[in-house]
Chain A
């Protein structure tokens, strides 16, 4: 085995080899049918597709393994001379990475044996609880008939269905239209009371399995062309009942499922398979399909992995709408307020009342003070008297022993929590702080002003803070930022999402749909914002268990809080328009915009 490399590259080749060996790979100096492709792993942003296309010309590929956390990929050919050909031809070849226009230099090594699979395909016992898969649920004749009917509907308009082209797939809706922006259906506005007969027949057959408590009345058909996918999601528990049934037609696909506590499972969906989501699979695990043109599939008998190309796949998803939900925002007539009265009503319902309801849970998740706020307080003169406007559960009221802090908030439950924590706060509205003029040496107002629903009220909230400040005193104001990605860094809020990339894209799509009206979008948590005025769901954890055990979900597990998220410079501009104060600092801090004001 000779290497035909420049001196420099040969040195590099040896260095990489040593590194791979130290990582536990069993590198062989003699040719084998297995190869390590250094720098060609998912961890180095090289996608499996690139490797496949690169290596296919040299022989029949048995297995490709690429890992998110490793910079190398592993590949095995059926024969050693195929691996040798690849080894010689691709040595030090430059390949393109997925992002940017960067190149990676490929180094190849023979590998004694492939390490045991890290479970690209999980065995059945690792599947989420409550996931029911019935293979060969349909005959090939039934499958063909369904595909034909669906293709017919795709080709024509009818009053029974609605067709939509999303970024990464095409969908048809029957019964009710699924609204991607609000993740919901408008239950008072059905498309048609009935399903087409092809859907009804198949639904009859599904109901006979006995796994679905209530007969579904909404059908979404997804058409996935090779390379299409769907972001990770849980079907809205407030909008749909348990027992969601999905039938796969036309092509296999690997569906990925993720548990909130970590485990993942790849579910191989063969054509004609019926999948039913109940229990944890319905309410706790997310599911999604990665955008790829092929799937890594494990042959159960030989335990070998193969790349299988995807064909056009159609899925039919049947869901039962929950009509009792009072939180259907569509039915609330929630629009951006156009008067003081409607603004007050909206905030009462979507801010004050909600905080009273979620206070305990909210408090338990808001223990840690933000470092820059603490720093602001620590830099004040000792003995300063400071008001925390909208103190919530009082996380800043006793973080700084050298100053005298009082809090105020409009939520009785939150003020009670302050009291239990040995802090003092009084009840009032930030629009009318019941404090005489020029009293405080400083104010903080953290994550409060974004809850006011008109720009007038946001403006007057700042005026009110300035009024109670002494001359020369400082105020620190934080609001939630529309930009959750700043200087190319995702905020923690986005980072927590598994699949935010995909969801972000989808939301950008649906954004346009809402630009036309003044209605408040229900925000999808952990994703980018689609508009500035929105309702952000708060899921009360306490009720999670009840939800999973009951078919009749109580809607009060989700609360909605109104937010106006601020765009870059918006807060600054708002403050600069106020006479009597100077904006002395303005910065972005972990998904928030902050200003420091000084009263003149």
Chain B
């Protein structure tokens, strides 16, 4: 299985990241504020996507797609028998892997702390008073 390489921050990464500021208990999901995105087609690997689905917080992905104004491209719920639902896997593939967030912020839902994304790299380093 050849798996796609990540080049920039994608929604799959967003789905994993959480705010980790000291004292924050509800840091997930981070609110995505994208000011620059880039879309490109990636080889579709249904096997890999099917394997990823159980690890994805689907509501967070839906939320991020809404923030990008692409709510219509993502089903609200994970399909039953998604392993065999090619249409669903395609949509998941697109949402998870085909949108690079080049610039913007990841905002902690509890504290409002903004983690900047620049050049596709989220900066999740904390200040001294945040650890």
Chain A interface residues toward B at CB < 8 A: 344, 382-383, 385, 397-398, 401-406, 408, 410, 412, 415-416, 419, 422-429, 431-436, 439, 470
> Dominant SS at the B interface?
loop
In the complex, which of the residues B4, B9, B18, B47 contacts A434, with contact meaning CB atoms closer than 8 Å?
A: B18
B residues neighboring A (CB under 8 Å): 1-10, 13, 16-20, 28, 47-48, 51-52, 55, 57, 115, 119-126, 128, 131
Residues of chain A within 8 A (CB-CB) of B16 are 406, 435-436, 439
- 17 A-B Cβ contacts within 8 A? A383-B1, A383-B52, A397-B5, A401-B2, A403-B3, A404-B4, A404-B6, A405-B5, A408-B124, A419-B119, A424-B9, A424-B13, A427-B123, A433-B20, A435-B17, A436-B18, A439-B16
Most buried by A among B5, B7, B131: B5
Given contacts A383-B1, A406-B13, A432-B131, contact A424 B125 (CB under 8 A): no
Q: How many A-B residue pairs have CB under 8 A?
A: 94
A429 touching B9, Cβ below 8 Å: no
Let me know if A406 and B6 touch, CB within 8 A: yes
A-chain residues with CB within 8 Å of residue B48 when the two chains form the complex:
383, 404
* Contact present for A426 and B20 (CB under 8 Å): no
- Cβ of A419 and Cβ of B125 under 8 Å apart? no
Top 4 A-B pairs ranked by shortest CB distance?
A424-B6, A382-B1, A428-B124, A434-B124
B125 contact from A383, A397, A406, A427, Cβ within 8 A: A427
| Interfacial chain A residues near B131, Cβ < 8 Å | 344, 429, 431-432
Residues of B within 8 A of A416 (CB): 119, 121
How far, in angstroms, from A427 to B20 measured CA to CA in the complex? 13
Residues of B within 8 A of A432 (CB): 20, 126, 131
- CB-CB under 8 A from B13, the residues of chain A are 406, 424, 426
> Distance (Å) between the CB of A403 and the closest chain B CB?
6
Known: A404-B48, A428-B124, A439-B55. A419 touches B20 (CB 8 A): no
* Pair A429/B3 contact, Cβ less than 8 Å: no
In the complex, besides A412-B123, A419-B7, A436-B16, 15 extra interface pairs with C-beta distance below 8 angstroms are A344-B131, A383-B51, A397-B5, A405-B5, A415-B121, A424-B13, A424-B120, A426-B9, A426-B13, A427-B122, A431-B131, A435-B16, A435-B18, A436-B17, A439-B55
State the CA gap A397–B4 with chains docked (Å): 12
CB nearest neighbor in B for A340: B131
Q: Which of B52, B55, B124 contacts A426 (CB 8 A)?
A: B124
Residues of B within 8 A of A425 (CB): 121
Q: How far is the CB of A340 from chain B (nearest CB, A)?
A: 9
Query: What is the chain B residue whose CB lies nearest that of A410?
Result: B125
Residue among A344, A412, A423, A426 having the largest count of chain B Cβ atoms under 10 Å = A426
CB of A505, distance to nearest CB on chain B (Å): 43
Q: Which one of A385, A419, A422 contacts B121 once the chains associate, using CB atoms below 8 Å? A: A419
Q: A426-B9, A439-B55 are in contact. Are A402 and B126 (CB under 8 A)?
A: no
Choose among A383, A424, A428, A429 the residue that contacts B7 (Cβ–Cβ < 8 A): A424
A401 contact set on B, CB distance < 8 A: 2-3
